[in-house]
Amino acid sequence: MLRTILGSNARGGFRRGTVAPLSSAGFHFPFSTHSSRKYSSPKGVPTLRQKRIASEVKEVISEALQQGPCENPNLRRAGFEITDVEMSSDLRTAHVLWRALPGMQKSAEKAVLSNVKRLRSLVFSRLTLPFSPTLKFQEDAAPLPTYKHWNKLLQSSNRRKENSQQKRVPEHVQNILNFRKIPRRRLVTLRMRILEHRLSFLRQKITGRW
């Protein structure tokens, strides 16, 4: 796909018999290797790949510490839990946030740090990366939710459920529910009136026929 320029240009063009570049000849490559643009998310926002690998790292470490080869009774006593995993932009560092019961943080930290090398090898064997990311364990400093906070959340969720149920109930079902709330004496009187109306209707029909 080369184009030969015939004739010369006094303003510095191509001479006769020379070969012009493809870009000057009107040819454009759809995929250029020189101007390849790297698409990345804004600063502070993890990419989809970072999130996927972080979730995989969290799953591997949690399984290894709770039921796997790195299981430790001290971690169970301390109520050890991995709250979150954050991957660096180059995926070479995994910041593992953990939490334990008050007063048991030091023993839990010792038990985890003693198994860092083994955990790193397990992560490398499970992931599809060509390298093993370094694991940096850090205690989660976020405040624990109080009982009042959980109580408010439960109350709000119950209210939403009640509102959604009231909206979803059809009209005929709501009428039946309201009918069941009527007292027993009133129900008896209503049934008697309905029977009287039916009997009167039948009498009129019979007398009309005869």
- In contact, 95 and 136? CB cutoff 8 Å: yes
Q: What's at 149, amino acid-wise?
A: H
Q: What is the DSSP string of 79-105?
A: T-EEEEEEE-TTS-EEEEEEE--TT-H
Look at the alpha carbons of 200, 205, 208, 210 in this order and tell me if their dihedral is positive or negative: negative
CA–CA dist 155, 141 (Å, integer): 27
Please report the pLDDT score of residue 6 as a whole number.
Answer: 44
**Residue 117 has which token pair?**
């090398």
Over its C-alpha atoms, the chain yields an Rg (Å, rounded) of 38
Residue 85 pairs with which residues in a beta bridge?
96
Mark the ranges of the chain whose per-residue pLDDT is less than 50: 1-8, 10, 14, 18-40, 210
Q: For the chain, give every residue range classified as CATH 3.30.300.20.
A: 48-139
User: Using one digit for the tens of pLDDT, what is the confidence trace for 77-99?
Assistant: 888 889 999 999 999 999 999 98
Please report the pLDDT score of residue 35 as a whole number.
Answer: 37
Please report the pLDDT score of residue 144 as a whole number.
Answer: 64
Please report the pLDDT score of residue 61 as a whole number.
Answer: 92
Please report the pLDDT score of residue 34 as a whole number.
Answer: 39
**Residue 139 has which token pair?**
């205690």
pTM of the model: 0.49
User: Whose CA is closest to 83, among 47, 117, 108?
Assistant: 108
Instruction: Say which CATH superfamily domain 48-139 falls into.
Output: K homology (KH) domain (3.30.300.20)
State phi, psi for 93 to the nearest 5 degrees: -135, 130
Per DSSP bridges, beta strands 81-87 and 93-99 are antiparallel
User: Using one digit for the tens of pLDDT, what is the confidence trace for 138-154?
Assistant: 998 877 666 566 667 67
CA–CA dist 169, 1 (Å, integer): 71
